[in-house]
Amino acid sequence: MNSISRNLSSVTDHLLFRIQNSIFTSRQLQQIHAHILTNVHLDSNPLLLDFLSSCFRSQKFDYALVFLQNLPKPNSSLWNSVIRVSIESGFSQEFMGFYNIMLRQNIAPDTTTFSMILRSCAALSSTELGEAFHCQILKVGFEFDLFLQTGLLDFYSKIGNLGSAKRLFTEMPARDVVAQNAMISALCKHGYINDARKLFDEMPVRISSSWNTMMTCYCKLGDMNSARSIFDCNPVKDVVSWNAMIDGYCKSDQLMAAEELFDRMGSAKNTVTWNTMISGYAQYREFSKAVSTFQQMQAENVKPTEVTMASLLSACAHLGALDLGSWIHTYIRRRNFKIDFVLGNALIDMYCKCGILEAALDVFHRLSVKNVYCWNSIIVGLGMHGFGREAISAFVEMNKGSIKPDGVTFVGLLSGCSHSGLVSEGRQYFSEMHQVYEVEPGIEHYGCMIDLLGRAGFLQEALELIEAMPMKPNMVAWGSLLRACQIHKDTKLSEKVTKHLLELDPDDGGNYVFLSNIYASSNRWDDVEKCRKLMIEKGVRKTPGCSSIEVDNVVHEFVVGDNSHPQYIQINAFLDKIAKELRALGHEPDMASVLHDIEEEEKESAVRYHSERIAVAFGLMNTPQGKPIRVVKNLRACSDCHAALKLISRLYKREIIVRDRSRFHHFRDGSCSCKDYW
């Protein structure tokens, strides 16, 4: 602190610079206080307020009180500013101490004082305190002050007392547009949309916020037709109007309508507009569009915010766009964004889903505050990478930190046990969920346990668990058991399970594919043909495999049979070359997943052009030697591709990381991190 004392100038501006945004100890505050008393005029409100703000940042409330009490003439303006600072600093409950001392020093509160206190009471849901201040307002003669009447109306609305809000509005001798807007908002909040619309239609004068209030109410209800009608009639549209409509469309899953307005805004867009559109794309899994919108935002020199970063990291996570995600992390650090648990969680999730567990753990350990979402992300990430025991260790550490686990925690924990074959541990945590941690098992937890038991070969126990579930088994539960039946080649149980799946959803093409695979594996080609005809009659199709890979910050997507990629011919030729090299290494294609009774050569060709192999071939062709290849696939990798990718990693001396629908596979030097257990 001595260095601070030496460097403080008697010039007020310099002192302001030193105090702003700093956190001090009690000793440091005393030294600055002394410097103010000896070098600065005590009527310099901006300086005094900044000093008091530093007391709040340093959580030295008693010192702030002492400072104020010893000022010779602290006026009401300064006291009001102190109350405002206490509220804005997140210490709303502290304002009463300042208010009481203000009264003891015979400084009368004014309308500004009461307005700020009412806002704080509304934010804290302090019903009794707010009502007490209503009495104070009447006592000092401010009962007809329009500004305070509107503040009281807003207070009663926010604490849920619509009756008092209505009574205040009715008794107001004069109602300006602000009061009318507040009443419309109160009515909408409590579901009286027709009354709100009637009041809106009766308003003699409407400003932009009037239109926006009514429009936002319709947006929150999901009534986008009425919202659009208000928007189109609004003669004074501002950026808030456009943003509210775009947000409403995004939340109503009407992205095309949101895009139409977004494009029409032109240069009127602000940061909120861009954030809303990026968040909308990320929310509805239009991740490529989220990334391209951000790139457009950058091109137009609009500065992103923490909200932008979090939404974009979510898109990168789902796309597996590591290069862009890493660039965003660098951007966050370079621009000194605060990595709180929101941004931290987004970074952890991105690195986990892009296959860089070390980076995810580094972000996790650097967080000073970790909430349940951060712990969940790291537990889920460890599990999906096959580190079941490490996921359990993280869970144990989470409990030591007094963080209460939730349902997502146990999904990550149980799926981690499933991917690592930790049957006894999975059984233990599943039984402890309700008994020890008071988390009621949901259908997703039963699905994890069925998957765990089935993978380990306990098919009968998995079936018994399905039959004992307190809720009706869904597609995930039966589907997990079906995959286990295929792994352990239990044809009889497979057929029974598949029929359950077809009863649940007769239009899901995946169910017919599973059944066809069962028949094909037993050479029951007549039954395969019947299954195919049934699919044609019902108009159902198999979900096509789709794999994506990021190269030079561009995400390339590949679907089987799609020849639209500009390197389509070269990729196919390279795949044929790879197939010959694999045969030379002794690889025999596993064609069990091919549905039709076709010639062996055609079957081999069918598995050769699966989407993950196309993406890997593209990566080998377009990335420098030694760089890892990262692929994201929408379906579970088939056994033949899994075997082939192990050999390709050895043949081309590349690490290949594939994230399929279930987990991560890290292929290195001819082996996979899953140890062929997936």
Same-domain status, 515 and 611: no
Q: Specify the higher pLDDT residue, 439 or 639.
A: 439
Q: What is the mean pLDDT of residues 578-588?
A: 88
> What would the pLDDT profile of 212-256 be if each residue is shown by its tens digit?
889 988 998 889 999 999 999 998 889 999 999 999 999 888 999
What is the DSSP-derived secondary structure letter of residue 173? Answer: S
Distance CA 453, CA 675 (A): 18
Q: What is the mean pLDDT of residues 419-434?
A: 93
From 515, 538, 561, the end of a domain falls on 538
Same-domain status, 511 and 595: no
Same-domain status, 465 and 574: no
Per-residue model confidence (pLDDT) at position 515:
73
Could you tell me the CATH number of the domain that includes residue 481? Answer: 1.25.40.10
The answer as to whether 375 is a domain residue is no
Per-residue model confidence (pLDDT) at position 177:
81
pLDDT averaged over the chain?
82
Q: β-strands 656-659, 629-633: how paired?
A: parallel
Find which of 82-86, 194-198, 286-290, 614-618 is predicted with most confidence, using mean pLDDT. 614-618
Q: Is the pLDDT of residue 314 over 90?
A: no
Same-domain status, 562 and 530: no
Residues 6+ apart with CB under 8 A from 620: 574, 629, 648, 652, 654
Q: Is the pLDDT of residue 623 over 60?
A: yes
Per-residue model confidence (pLDDT) at position 40:
52
Same-domain status, 478 and 521: yes
Per-residue model confidence (pLDDT) at position 305:
87
Same-domain status, 524 and 609: no
| Residue that has been written with the tokens 């590949």 in this structure | 558
Same-domain status, 599 and 661: yes
From 538, 573, 588, the end of a domain falls on 538
Per-residue model confidence (pLDDT) at position 662:
79
Q: Specify the higher pLDDT residue, 93 or 230.
A: 230
Distance CA 375, CA 373 (A): 5
Segment (H or E) for 269: none
Q: What's the structural domain count of the chain? A: 2
Same-domain status, 534 and 559: no
The answer as to whether 659 is a domain residue is yes
The answer as to whether 664 is a domain residue is yes
Same-domain status, 595 and 631: yes
Distances (CA, A) of 546 to 89, 228, 270, 635, 636: 49, 37, 35, 8, 11
Give strand ranges (E) for 397-515: none
From 538, 560, 589, the end of a domain falls on 538
Same-domain status, 555 and 513: no
Distance CA 504, CA 163 (A): 49
The answer as to whether 70 is a domain residue is no
The answer as to whether 334 is a domain residue is no
The answer as to whether 167 is a domain residue is no
> What would the pLDDT profile of 323-336 be if each residue is shown by its tens digit?
889 989 998 999 88
Per-residue model confidence (pLDDT) at position 102:
75
Same-domain status, 596 and 623: yes
Is 175 in a helix, a strand, or coil? coil
The answer as to whether 396 is a domain residue is no
DSSP string, 637-677: PPHHHHHHHHHHHHHTT--EEEE-SS-EEEEETTEETTTT-
Residues 6+ apart with CB under 8 A from 381: 348, 349, 351, 352, 353, 357, 360, 412
Q: Is the pLDDT of residue 607 over 70?
A: no
Find which of 162-176, 357-371, 538-552, 582-596 is predicted with most confidence, using mean pLDDT. 357-371
Q: In this structure, what are the phi and psi dihedrals at residue 309, rounded to the nearest 5 degrees?
A: -60, -45
Same-domain status, 554 and 498: no
Q: β-strands 554-559, 664-668: how paired?
A: unpaired
Q: What is the mean pLDDT of residues 565-590?
A: 89
Domain that holds residue 471: 407-538
Helix crossing, 177-189 with 208-221: angle to 10°? 0
What is the DSSP-derived secondary structure letter of residue 437? Answer: T
Per-residue model confidence (pLDDT) at position 62:
63
Per-residue model confidence (pLDDT) at position 60:
58
What is the DSSP-derived secondary structure letter of residue 568? Answer: H
The answer as to whether 237 is a domain residue is no
